[in-house]
Amino acid sequence: MSEMPETYEPSADLKALDRLVGTWAITGGAEGTVRYEWMAGGFFLLQHVDLTQFGRPVTGLEVIGNLRPFGEPVGADVVSRFYDSTGNTLDYVYELTGDKLTIWGGAKGSPAYYEGTFSADGTTVTGAWVYPGGGGYESTMTRI
Which residues constitute the domain of residue 107?
Answer: 12-143
Tens digit of each residue's pLDDT (9 = 90 or more) over 91-128: 999 999 999 999 999 999 999 999 999 999 999 999 99
**Averaged pLDDT, 78-94:** 97
Per-residue pLDDT band for 134 (boundaries 50, 70, 90) equals confident
Taking a C-beta distance cutoff of 8 angstroms, is the pair 126, 116 a contact?
yes
Residue 16, SS3? helix
| Full-model pTM | 0.93
What is the CATH number for 19?
A: 2.40.128.20
- Residue 5 domain-assigned (yes or no): no
Residue 52: partners with Cβ closer than 8 Å, 6 or more residues away: 30, 31, 32, 58
- Residue 7 domain-assigned (yes or no): no
Tens digit of each residue's pLDDT (9 = 90 or more) over 1-33: 556 566 789 999 999 999 999 999 999 999 999
Q: What is the tally of structural domains in the chain?
A: 1
